[in-house]
Chain A
Amino acid sequence: MSVGWKRRRRAALMAALVCVAPAACNRENRNMNAPVPETAPKGVQVSDLHPGPSAATPSDPRGREYEGNATHIANGQRYYKWFNCSGCHFNGGGGIGPALMDDKWRYGGRIEQIYATIAQGRPNGMPSFADKIPEQQIWEIAAYVRSLSGNADKLAAPSRADEMSSIPPISNIDKAPPKGDPDVSKAGGG
């Protein structure tokens, strides 16, 4: 094989590797070393009733990382059961607590807003877990909740858990864009 051909083939291979790499490597990485202590997302708007104009919720880059990482979503699934979220929200279909698989989010459906809802608690029964669940685990539970409505990375979401299956495989749920995201332009929640 002429040298030109070989060099072109190697370049094509490297290009293929490079473009695939970032997508795959985020989904799969597991930071085994002690994680830097996580902090809550800042400036989260959960309601659009505020005097005068104000910016919508800034999107926290860690949100994308948690939503796109398979290990964080799997841990979120585990903690969703451990911390008894299923007690009120059942397996995502809702019951005492609101459903988490549809597209109606009274306090916002983005991961930062779900984090705030878990941490601060909400009226009518949602307890505040601020100090009770470390920050990283709240991020992970929020990522799992996002995957329940198909908004997390589909490739990262597990298809089911080893238990009675009451919801269709969440790796197949087609994306339900969050309505009721309290951005500035719209008045009132979803």
Chain B
Amino acid sequence: MTARLVGDLSPLPAAGFRSHGLWFWAAMGFMVIEGAGFSLACAAYVYLMNGAREWPLDGVAPDLGWGTAMAVLLVASLVPNALMSRASRKRLAGPTQLWAVVVFALNTLALVVRGFEFLHLNTRWDANAYGSIVWALILLHTVHLLTDFIDTCFVTLLLFTHPIDTERFSDVDDDSVYWGFVVACWLPIYLLIYWAPRWAP
């Protein structure tokens, strides 16, 4: 068998946004993994809650204040996040830099709020099973908050220090998708940690 030429690939572009590039698929892969991890951790929370006589076990639910502040902050941050994504997909350097800095600022604020949240959980991880699973859930989310903090910081920094080309815009866009995931993960955990003890029979 001999080979015959049927086409030329050189006119193809060298970068693409979202599902056209490879980085997006790495982010999707890790979202599937972390999504599975989150949902199983939430399932474990519900499993322990159903098995317990009364929930929370030592009777004191976490204060609503900081948790709700975190939820509001994260949902609010979706707006600049979407604007950053649109700007980067329109490949406009100025707006992208602006919104990236805003998202990074909100991300930092979220970490600070999370610090206060830890102080108002009203339970220790080695107090009982309730304390353990609450700390497990909130630590899981904090790890993802931290990784996205570093990712956003890294991406925002590069917007100012390096020439901006399509790959940088696509990186910013992928980071906005991952930030959306981190926000989406917080909502069920927020309901479980802060509202389940109050609603539980």
Name A's B-contacting residues (CB within 8 A): 160, 165, 168-169
List, in ascending order, chain B residues with CB within 8 A of A160's CB: 126
- The distance in angstroms between the C-alpha atoms of A169 and B128, with both chains bound, is 12
How many B residues face the partner with a CB closer than 8 A? 3
List, in ascending order, chain A residues with CB within 8 A of B128's CB: 165
List, in ascending order, chain A residues with CB within 8 A of B127's CB: 165
The 3 nearest A-B residue pairs measured at CB? A169-B126, A165-B126, A168-B126
List, in ascending order, chain B residues with CB within 8 A of A169's CB: 126
**Which residue on chain B has the smallest CB distance to residue A168?**
B126
Interface SS majority for chain B: loop
**Which residue on chain A has the smallest CB distance to residue B126?**
A169
- The distance in angstroms between the C-alpha atoms of A168 and B125, with both chains bound, is 11
The minimal Cβ–Cβ distance linking B145 to chain A, given in whole angstroms, is 26
List 6 A-B residue pairs with CB atoms under 8 Å apart, sorted by A's residue number: A160-B126, A165-B126, A165-B127, A165-B128, A168-B126, A169-B126
- The distance in angstroms between the C-alpha atoms of A130 and B156, with both chains bound, is 72
The minimal Cβ–Cβ distance linking B58 to chain A, given in whole angstroms, is 12
**Which residue on chain A has the smallest CB distance to residue B124?**
A168
- The distance in angstroms between the C-alpha atoms of A80 and B127, with both chains bound, is 22
- The distance in angstroms between the C-alpha atoms of A168 and B128, with both chains bound, is 12
List, in ascending order, chain B residues with CB within 8 A of A165's CB: 126-128
The minimal Cβ–Cβ distance linking A168 to chain B, given in whole angstroms, is 7
- The distance in angstroms between the C-alpha atoms of A160 and B127, with both chains bound, is 11
Near A by CB (< 8 A), chain B positions 126-167 give 126-128
List, in ascending order, chain A residues with CB within 8 A of B126's CB: 160, 165, 168-169
- The distance in angstroms between the C-alpha atoms of A165 and B128, with both chains bound, is 8
**Which residue on chain A has the smallest CB distance to residue B127?**
A165
**Which residue on chain B has the smallest CB distance to residue A164?**
B128
The minimal Cβ–Cβ distance linking A120 to chain B, given in whole angstroms, is 36
- The distance in angstroms between the C-alpha atoms of A168 and B126, with both chains bound, is 8
The minimal Cβ–Cβ distance linking B48 to chain A, given in whole angstroms, is 16
The minimal Cβ–Cβ distance linking B134 to chain A, given in whole angstroms, is 16
- The distance in angstroms between the C-alpha atoms of A118 and B128, with both chains bound, is 33
Q: Mark B116-130, 1 if CB is under 8 A from A, else 0.
A: 000000000011100
The minimal Cβ–Cβ distance linking A157 to chain B, given in whole angstroms, is 14
- The distance in angstroms between the C-alpha atoms of A111 and B128, with both chains bound, is 32
- The distance in angstroms between the C-alpha atoms of A165 and B127, with both chains bound, is 8
Q: Mark B33-57, 1 if CB is under 8 A from A, else 0.
A: 0000000000000000000000000
- The distance in angstroms between the C-alpha atoms of A169 and B127, with both chains bound, is 10
- The distance in angstroms between the C-alpha atoms of A169 and B126, with both chains bound, is 8
The minimal Cβ–Cβ distance linking B59 to chain A, given in whole angstroms, is 15
The minimal Cβ–Cβ distance linking A177 to chain B, given in whole angstroms, is 25
The minimal Cβ–Cβ distance linking A99 to chain B, given in whole angstroms, is 20
- The distance in angstroms between the C-alpha atoms of A151 and B128, with both chains bound, is 26
- The distance in angstroms between the C-alpha atoms of A168 and B131, with both chains bound, is 14
